[in-house]
């Protein structure tokens, strides 16, 4: 006999899908917290990636005495992007 055989019967039975249903109908504030935490982590990751790429761009632009302050704004018109491409390719565009 196993330990399970010695356990008293409580009369509680779990039907298939009941656990998932309980989770889906569960605490809304916990779900809201989880979603907001996921959003915050995604925003943080995007910010870190933006800052990292901006530093990489500036490390190359420093060769010609240029730099960008905001990745999205300063590359928007394409002028700094063209300079970066010229530096990376070694060709005049």
Output the tens digit of pLDDT for each of the chain's 93 residues: 555 555 555 555 656 555 555 555 557 888 999 999 999 999 999 999 999 999 999 999 999 999 999 999 999 999 999 999 999 999 998
The confidence score (pLDDT) of residue 9 equals 59
The class (CATH top level) of 18-89 is: mainly alpha
The confidence score (pLDDT) of residue 93 equals 86
The confidence score (pLDDT) of residue 87 equals 96
From CA 57, how far away is CA 65, in angstroms rounded? 12
* For the chain, domain boundaries: 18-89
The confidence score (pLDDT) of residue 53 equals 97
Separation of CA 68 from chain center: 24
């Amino acid at each position: 006999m196993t330990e399970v055989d010695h356990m008293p019967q409580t009369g509680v039975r779990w039907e298939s899908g009941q656990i998932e249903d309980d989770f889906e109908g569960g605490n809304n504030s916990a779900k809201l917290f989880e979603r907001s935490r996921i959003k915050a982590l995604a925003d943080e990751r995007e910010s870190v990636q933006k800052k990292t790429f901006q530093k990489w761009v500036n490390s190359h632009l420093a060769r010609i005495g240029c730099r960008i302050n905001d990745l999205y704004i300063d590359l928007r018109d394409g002028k700094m992007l063209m300079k970066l491409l010229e530096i990376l390719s070694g060709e005049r565009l």
